[in-house]
Structure 1
Amino acid sequence: MSLPRLFLFCALLVNIGLGFLVYFKTKFRKNENLAFSILAWAAAGWIFSGFMTYFHEGDPIIVFWAKMSFSTAGTIAFAFLYFALLFPGDRRNLNSTQLLLLALPCLFFIVVSFGTDQIVSSLGSGNKMFHYGPLYLLFSLYLIAYFISGFVSLIMTYQRSIGIERLQIKYVLLGMFFTAMLGVTTNLFLPMSGVSQFNWLGPTFTVIMVGTTTYCIIKHRLMDINIVLRKGTTYFLLMMVLFLPAALLLVYAQNLYFHQINYYFSIIVLLIVFLLTVFYDKVRAGAEKAVEQLLFKNRYDYRETLGAFSKAMVSILDLQSLSKKIIETITNTMGVEKASLFLLDEEKGGYYLLESKKVDVELSPSGLAKGDPLPRYLQKMNELVVREELLKGAHIQELNTVVQSMTQLEADVSIPLISKGDLIGMINLSHKFDKEIYSREDIELLSMLANQAAIAIENAKLYEDLKRSKSYIRRADRLASLGTLTAGLAHEIRNPLVAIKTLTQLLPDRLDDEEFRNHFLQIASGEVDRISSLVNELLEFARPSEPKLETEDINSIIDGMLLLVSTETKKKFIQIVKEYTHDVPPVTVDREQIKQVFLNVLLNALEATPENGMITVKTRSFSKPGGEHYVQVEFTDTGCGIPSEYLEDIFTPFFTTKMKGSGLGLSISSQ
């Protein structure tokens, strides 16, 4: 068998096989599958015609096979345009009339080619294999017009498509383009100039279309063809697609340039190629990184940015800031138009929208319920899901509801946030600005980011719980302090009320006594002001409030706390000595928290100071060597002091030497 026949025979087999594969290996047979199968079988017919032409070389019957070649070539043009209009997913619905009009030129040239000599008239001589008829040029224009129309349709669809459809169209477009360009050149343009010896190459170029289509079927489920291939089968098919043409080209090149074929040399070369293929995966990662650094710096920086961010996230403890950082980083580095972040709210039993970008979603006040199809599916799968992948199984009810939920959230990709086996949230991403599909690298990086984000979110939630716990402890300690003062405060309020009541009882009898009235008003007003000040201090101290830093006069705050403990000091006849520096500058503090600090220290001093003792409070301002200005508040008492062995533990939470103490006063004051 000559080399051209061998090439044509191999191309014939792969085209027939691809046609049957596309037609029979889909669950839901579509018109696009039928159109592509017709295209592959027409290509097989064209190849068979070429094979028979070379098989009967020198025999007049080859004119018949030449006419057959033109008939099948015309069918290829029709099938390609029909497929291009439908692909992907039967996006156009052509009725019978439209389909007939599309096929009329093809049918016309089939009849003309077989029944007349208007396209191929007779055998040629020399480099010119055939003499062509007057309709040859019109047939050529038909082929070119249909091929151009098909490519224009595919390009327009490519520009409008996103995700996996865009990737499928790209593979089909490239395979068809190179096959058509090379085939038209060798079998149309060169014969016009009288060169026909390369006609056998045109049909063999269909292997390019077969290769790209087969790869896209296996890798990206082209035309909804699901093939479950074991690794061995995959390698065998790749060997047939790649190594067989390579072997044939190698043999042909030896015969062309050296006029002999060395099979040992051919085996060694193919073995080297095979070894390079096997070890490619082992060196790919390092080589890819080096090439990206050298030639594709932007892509490499993009990966580095996501990697660095995944490490930095764990240091962000504020939940709102963290969620904003996650959304901003993903949308900016990956070029995503829309994104949303949902977190689990255990109390409401659903997922609420915490952060989003350009997402307009109408949700119930409780957000997404835990039983919603999307959270339930993410919890079940425990991995990132792509909406276009789920669309392949949209006939399954469970997947269809998940797809609908993702569509409502404008999500092309949903990334679960898993912590301790539970779904604590999800990140939803729309398509990219460039409408490209999420690559394997993108999915791996997003999965890594999701793991880091889940840890960071859990840390942030624990931090918020800790802050709330501290707030509750501070409030409890504040109320405990008030409880300590309750008896004395009641006495402090009751005494002025007794005086006011006595005066009001005497007032009717001495109403005409102006001196008594004036004296009564002065005493009553003073006692009321005193009660009002005491109650205001109590209310301000007991009222829970968010930390708020403001400029305050430290001396006036201390006076307020001394007022609260004044009853206790009177009971024990303790003298309060105030040594204030009156030009102390205002300080920026949280008024309520510093009140609690002063009250805790004063209560400890009162408990430690015996009767007839003294508590001294001093304030002064000073500057450190670096020039920083400070205000110092000093409390001293005449009590027993703190034993030296306890000094290191006085600020430890729950450490106390008192019978009824909580051990939290100084700990909270220190914080």
Structure 2
Amino acid sequence: MHLNQLMEFIGHFMGAVLQLILIMMMARRKDKRHSEKVFFTLVVAIFIWHAGSFVSTFSELLTGERIIVVGLIWDTASALSMGFVPPLLIHTLLTFLEELPENFFSRWRRTVLFVAYAPLPFFWRAPLRLIQHPELPRAENIMLVTQMFEYWTIVALAIASYMCYKLSTLSRDDVQRRFYISLVRMFVIIFGLMVLTHVLYAKFIPGLGTYFLVACALAPMFPTIIFSYFILRYNYMEYVLKRSIFYSLLAIFVLAVYILGIRQVGDFLERALDIDFRIIEAILVIGLILLIDPVRERLQAAFNALFFREQSYYQRVFAELSHRLGSLQGIEVGRLLRYVANSVQTAMRLSNCKIILLHEENGRLVVEESSSPVQTEEVENIVRHFQKIHAHSISLWQVTDQAVVKEMKNIDATLILPIYRDGRLAGVMSLGPSLQYRELYEGEIEILSILLNHLVTAIDNTRLMQDKLEMERRMLANEKWMSLGRLSGQIAHEVKNPLSSIKAITHVMREELPPDDRFYKDLAMVEGEIDKLTTVVNQLLRGAHPTTQTEKVADLRDIIENVSSVLRPEASHADIRIICQYDNGIPAIKADPVALREIIFNVMNNGIQSMASGGTLTVSVSCLQPDPTTHRRSVLVSIHDTGPGIPEEDMSKIFEPFYTTKEGGTGLGLWIVREKLTDLGGSISVESNGGTTITITIPVEAKTAVGPPATAPNPEQEKPDA
């Protein structure tokens, strides 16, 4: 057996296996486009060529001579199919070009197809000659000595190279562009091989000519290898080759080692040393069998590194991300969504990625949380589409609903994946265009779907943990209020009751004395100090009894105007102006008006008391933009005085209970303000720079929480302060 025969045998076998795998894969695909049907025909023609040549070569190697019946059937089929390969190649590339928006070949479609298929009748004389003379040599010899076929194949390769070049320049997908550039290079190499072999007559070079002919006969296999590589590497054209092709290649490797290695060495030793090589051959075959497993592992690793790098990378990244989701449970849901969205966007090199959670409200699904700002109206039709058909994904290039297309374009999405919880739509993931200018593969979409299932579990666990923490917080708050209640009871018993007795006795003693008595003023001062102590005890008692707030609606403007009217007499007496400023459209606040009144009263009163030499107290009310994560609205109240400000060393202590810098102050005012704002879900901050500015943020829908009772301050009593 000559080396060129072995090359031809193995080459045609590999070519037939590759084409057969592609045929089975393409046959399973439904709803084929016209270009796919033409391409399928081309693959079938190349398969018949390789299969026929393989059977003929195998029969000759098996029997040592040409079998007439085999040659008549398979060589005829090979010759017929090879005649169709050049025109089908041009036809396939033409249909690919027709699918692109910029295609100048479409106007010349009929002319190109006529030129492609016109030479076919002239090639049919080769298979007819085989039928008439079955003893002639094999099909490739008949086809390749047909001078017109040689030249036509060269012309077809030149046209195919140019068409692939045009496809590479018109394709916006980076993978497609690389695929067509690879085909251009391969067609140019085959073109050069054909010219060298048949135009420059390299086929007549002694010793090398037969190898040039074998290379030309195997040439149709090499573009198929490129196509198979792109399918395995990138799932090109959404085809999926199973890893079973790896085992086919492994079988070819083992067969090649046996035929080219063991058998050749055996034949050489039998001729040179005149020995029986069968025993040594059996030992070598056993050794080859033992080597199969380690060789398989090494080839499998190389196979994965060559073809499945992206899939392995995504699986590793998303497995790590899924693992981290377990450790991130308990953080805010919005932060969790942003973390996952940013991770997916970075890993898959997307222009953007959004995760949107939905919940039912008044019979419709609305946006609850999202990784970036999205309104319900922006995804309304997308949500309705998933509810209607329960699709696994929505592609911008395949969906026919124009309302859905419009919404996807508005949020810059090319693919939408649903998030299901217990069979119901719980959210969507929006994926923007790929920075690699390609569509996501089916395997990548499956990995993302698995990740979304882990995300749903993590969100559920996060919410359970938050509910548990909230319950524990309430229990701790109740324990705190119970402790304060017990303490306040003891204070009432041990302090307030004796104070009442002392005040009553002092009052009686003072009334029995004439006003000009020197003890009359002393007893009046004692009564005043007792009143101050009683005020401190009353404020402590108000902060010691929790109540559950009921949902009420408060008009913040009315509350501020009411408090201002109460404080204006005192302010005017101290030469202080009170200025109130309001934005338009200040919404009503769902909170206890009495609690809000006490908050505003305490802060405004502190500002007035800080301006001993007169000044201006400015109250500004404005609306804040909705929170991008929770979509909740808030109102901002800014109270600024022109007093001396708060010393820097005191800034960290102003919210501590019983801390005050004023003579006669209780130190409970700002502490009560902060506690009440916390219960409402609001916040307070203080700045001191050329006066003091206290900024209060109050949510429009204040949360219902356990907190101290909202008791209106009595203007006649001493006003609380910091």
Q: TM-score, normalised by structure 2?
A: 0.48
User: In structure 2, what is the equivalent of residue 148 of structure 1?
Assistant: 161
Measure, in 2, the Cα distance between the counterparts of 1:186 and 1:460. 68
Q: CA deviation at 1:314?
A: 3.8
Tell me whether 1:429 sits opposite 2:431 in the alignment. yes
Tell me whether 1:265 sits opposite 2:279 in the alignment. no
Q: Deviations over 1:411-461 (max 9, x none)?
A: 444455566776443221123211245465786477447634763587479
Structure 2 letter corresponding to 1:374: F
User: In structure 2, what is the equivalent of residue 248 of structure 1?
Assistant: 256
CA 1:354–1:299 in structure 2 vs 1: closer, same or farther (change >3 Å)?
A: closer
Tell me whether 1:368 sits opposite 2:350 in the alignment. no
Tell me whether 1:35 sits opposite 2:38 in the alignment. yes
Q: Deviations over 1:267-298 (max 9, x none)?
A: 643653345436988x899x98xx99xxxxx9
User: In structure 2, what is the equivalent of residue 646 of structure 1?
Assistant: none
CA 1:210–1:320 in structure 2 vs 1: closer, same or farther (change >3 Å)?
A: closer
Q: Deviations over 1:487-526 (max 9, x none)?
A: xxxxxxxxxxxxxxxxxxxxxxxxxxxxxxxxxxxxxxxx
Q: Deviations over 1:35-76 (max 9, x none)?
A: 22332244346547867997699x9xx9xx999989865642
Tell me whether 1:189 sits opposite 2:196 in the alignment. yes
Q: CA deviation at 1:543?
A: 1.9
User: In structure 2, what is the equivalent of residue 340 of structure 1?
Assistant: 354
Measure, in 1, the Cα distance between the counterparts of 2:29 and 2:112. 26
Q: CA deviation at 1:264?
A: 5.3
Structure 2 letter corresponding to 1:81: I
List gaps (5 residues or longer) in structure 1: 117-122, 293-297, 482-527, 560-581, 599-616, 622-630, 636-652, 654-661
Structure 2 letter corresponding to 1:338: N
- Alignment check: 8 A CA contact 2:90 2:156 kept: no
- Alignment check: 8 A CA contact 2:356 2:367 kept: yes
- Alignment check: 8 A CA contact 1:187 1:202 kept: yes
Q: CA deviation at 1:306?
A: 5.0
List gaps (5 residues or longer) in structure 2: 127-135, 204-208, 269-276, 486-561, 572-591, 613-643, 670-678, 680-704, 712-722
- Alignment check: 8 A CA contact 2:19 2:43 kept: yes
User: In structure 1, what is the equivalent of residue 688 of structure 2?
Assistant: none
Aligned CA-pair RMSD: 6.9
CA 1:178–1:207 in structure 2 vs 1: closer, same or farther (change >3 Å)?
A: farther
Q: Deviations over 1:129-156 (max 9, x none)?
A: 9997986885464033123124324434
User: In structure 1, what is the equivalent of residue 631 of structure 2?
Assistant: none
Percent identity of equivalent pairs: 11
Measure, in 2, the Cα distance between the counterparts of 1:463 and 1:135. 80
Q: CA deviation at 1:372?
A: 1.6
Match of 1:435, SS state, is coil
Measure, in 2, the Cα distance between the counterparts of 1:344 and 1:429. 17
- Alignment check: 8 A CA contact 2:231 2:239 kept: yes
Structure 2 letter corresponding to 1:619: T
- Alignment check: 8 A CA contact 1:417 1:450 kept: yes
Structure 1 letter corresponding to 2:217: P
Tell me whether 1:80 sits opposite 2:89 in the alignment. yes
Measure, in 2, the Cα distance between the counterparts of 1:314 and 1:29. 45
Measure, in 1, the Cα distance between the counterparts of 2:653 and 2:456. 33
Structure 1 letter corresponding to 2:596: R
Structure 2 letter corresponding to 1:543: L
- Alignment check: 8 A CA contact 2:93 2:160 kept: no
2:595 corresponds to which of 528, 534, 542:
542
- Number of positions where the alignment pairs a residue of Structure 1 with one of Structure 2: 494
Q: Deviations over 1:384-436 (max 9, x none)?
A: x4546995xx8xx9x99999986776544445556677644322112321124
Q: CA deviation at 1:171?
A: 6.8
Measure, in 1, the Cα distance between the counterparts of 2:645 and 2:149. 108
Q: Deviations over 1:157-182 (max 9, x none)?
A: 6x4137xxx57x867875x5687566
- Alignment check: 8 A CA contact 1:551 1:588 kept: no
Measure, in 2, the Cα distance between the counterparts of 1:343 and 1:454. 13
User: In structure 2, what is the equivalent of residue 160 of structure 1?
Assistant: 172
Measure, in 2, the Cα distance between the counterparts of 1:545 and 1:208. 85
Tell me whether 1:101 sits opposite 2:111 in the alignment. yes
Q: TM-score, normalised by structure 1?
A: 0.51
Tell me whether 1:350 sits opposite 2:360 in the alignment. no
Structure 1 letter corresponding to 2:86: A
CA 1:444–1:31 in structure 2 vs 1: closer, same or farther (change >3 Å)?
A: closer
- Alignment check: 8 A CA contact 1:335 1:433 kept: yes
- Alignment check: 8 A CA contact 1:342 1:351 kept: no
Q: Deviations over 1:167-208 (max 9, x none)?
A: 7x867875x568756655655434535242112244345455
Structure 2 letter corresponding to 1:427: M
- Alignment check: 8 A CA contact 1:74 1:106 kept: no
Measure, in 1, the Cα distance between the counterparts of 2:403 and 2:652. 55
Measure, in 1, the Cα distance between the counterparts of 2:56 and 2:299. 42
Measure, in 1, the Cα distance between the counterparts of 2:28 and 2:445. 30
Measure, in 1, the Cα distance between the counterparts of 2:600 and 2:452. 34
CA 1:460–1:222 in structure 2 vs 1: closer, same or farther (change >3 Å)?
A: same
- Alignment check: 8 A CA contact 2:415 2:432 kept: yes
- Alignment check: 8 A CA contact 1:74 1:143 kept: no
Match of 1:346, SS state, is strand
Q: CA deviation at 1:83?
A: 1.5
CA 1:400–1:327 in structure 2 vs 1: closer, same or farther (change >3 Å)?
A: same
CA 1:271–1:94 in structure 2 vs 1: closer, same or farther (change >3 Å)?
A: farther
Measure, in 1, the Cα distance between the counterparts of 2:289 and 2:594. 87
1:277 corresponds to which of 296, 302, 314:
296
- Alignment check: 8 A CA contact 1:14 1:210 kept: no
Q: CA deviation at 1:80?
A: 1.9
CA 1:529–1:105 in structure 2 vs 1: closer, same or farther (change >3 Å)?
A: closer
| Aligned 1:220-619 pairs, distance under 5 A | 235=244, 238-244=246-252, 246-248=254-256, 250-253=258-261, 260=268, 262=281, 265=284, 268-269=287-288, 272-274=291-293, 276-277=295-296, 306=321, 310=325, 313-314=328-329, 316-317=331-332, 323-348=337-362, 349-352=364-367, 355=370, 364=377, 368=380, 372-374=384-386, 385-387=392-394, 410-417=412-419, 423-438=425-440, 440=443, 444=447, 447-448=450-451, 451-452=454-455, 455-456=458-459, 459=462, 532-533=566-567, 542-543=595-596, 553=606, 556=609, 585=647, 619=660
- Alignment check: 8 A CA contact 1:42 1:76 kept: yes
Q: Deviations over 1:187-237 (max 9, x none)?
A: 54345352421122443454555566568779988777799x9xxxx74x6
Match of 2:428, SS state, is strand
